[in-house]
Structure 1
Amino acid sequence: MPRPRQALLSRDRIVETAITLIDADGLDAFSTRRLAAELGVAGPSLYNHFPTKDAILDAVAETITARVDVSFFGTLDWREALRRWGLSYRAALADHPHIVPYLAQGPGRRPAALAMADAVYGALVAAGWPPARATHIGAAMRYFVAGSALGSFARGFVEDPTVYAEQYPHLAQAHRLAEHQRSVDEGAFVLGLDALIDGLSRSYQETVGANANRPPAPDGA
């Protein structure tokens, strides 16, 4: 039998199939056996490309993180760069919410995640933020983005108007939130993101900006 022109498996094919399965069934339901079945191969075939299940999950996390745009840092003002990064970051995670808990464990050794952390931290320090505060800002953004991508406020309400109308008069229209999920969830994220950056901007002016505008001390002072 002639050999196929293309290999049955590749790292990219394994990763993209793993993403599809995790998106559909969740992280807890994901297994190498299920992945192999979806790919139409025997389980051990996967280990020619990935030594463990965690290695596959790392590659999935790396692929999703690599879709986040960090090119704004170093080219735009730190506030605008932070805002655009936040929007890109959430968009990447919101498309794959089931992998967010795995991503939330930290960058580990994943190059794309480390490159993102390096770009954010480096730009904030270059803008004048103290290193410790730059770390706090990066962490706060990750918490905010991950939390937003992990769940949907709008989807938390059922579409039956009788559930709310009588006992919760202020929620008389809550049954309509689900049909406006995208605008509600994205609008809430943008509102929070802008508020966060506005607060950071004020803090920056009070600390970094004040120090930058302070006249040099006289000799011997």
Structure 2
Amino acid sequence: MARPRVPLLSRERIRDAALVLVDRDGLAEVSMRKLAAELGVRAASLYGHYPNKDELFDDIAAGIMAAVDTSAFDTAAWDLALAAWARSYRTALSTHPNFVPYLATGPGHRAENLRAADAVHGGLVGAGWPPRYATMIGAATRYLVMGSTVGSFAGGFADDIQVYRDRYPHLNQAHRLAAVADEIDTDSFELALTAFIAGLHATYAQVVTAN
């Protein structure tokens, strides 16, 4: 029998199938055996491409993080660059929210995370921030982005008015949130980001401008 021109498996195809499983079933439910079944192959076939699940997930993480844009730190003021990075970061992560918990583990061991951290830290220090503050700002922004992408706050409310009307009178409009979840979640992130950067301006005046 002639050999097929296109291999049955490739690293790209395995990554894509793994992300489908993560998006559908959640991170904890993905195994190499389940992934092999999804691809219609034996689990042993996967190990020629990825020796273990962590290497597969690290490759997926690199692909997601490669979409995060830090280029504004080369051209824009630190506050505008920080906002642009945070928005790009959130956009990249929000495409696969079930994968975010894995991205939150061991970021300092991945090249794409280190590339972004280097650009952010360099941009902030270049703008006058002391290195310690630059580190904290990068970490705090990461907390803000991660928290906003792990799950939908607005989408987590039931759409039954009776759930809230009698027992939680201050939440008497909560049943409406699910219908506008994307808008509420995005606007809430923007509110938090704007307030965060406004607070940083006050800190900048104290620790940088005043010295």
Give 1 or 2: higher helix fraction: 2
> 2:113 and 2:35 mapped to 1: Cα distance?
24
Correspondence for 2:162: 162
Unaligned runs of 5+ in 2: none
Alignment of 1:37-116 (within 5 A): 37-116=37-116
Q: Percent identity?
A: 55
Kindly report the root-mean-square deviation, in angstroms, between the aligned alpha carbons of the 2 structures: 1.1
| Shift >6 Å, 4+ stretches | none
Deviations 1:100-124 (A, max 9, x none): 1111113243221111111111111
Deviation at 1:79, TM superposition (A): 0.4
What amino acid sits opposite 2:186 in the alignment?
Answer: E
Q: Give the TM-score of the pair, scaled to structure 2.
A: 0.96
Q: Give the TM-score of the pair, scaled to structure 1.
A: 0.92
Deviations 1:15-59 (A, max 9, x none): 111111101100010000111111122111111111111101111
> 1:59 and 1:180 mapped to 2: Cα distance?
34
What amino acid sits opposite 1:127 in the alignment?
Answer: A
What amino acid sits opposite 1:176 in the alignment?
Answer: R
Correspondence for 1:218: none
> 2:202 and 2:11 mapped to 1: Cα distance?
46
What amino acid sits opposite 1:84 in the alignment?
Answer: A
Correspondence for 1:145: 145
Deviations 1:113-139 (A, max 9, x none): 111111111111111111111111111
Correspondence for 2:120: 120
Deviation at 1:170, TM superposition (A): 2.3
Correspondence for 1:199: 199
Correspondence for 1:215: none
What amino acid sits opposite 1:42 in the alignment?
Answer: R
Correspondence for 1:13: 13
Larger Rg: 1
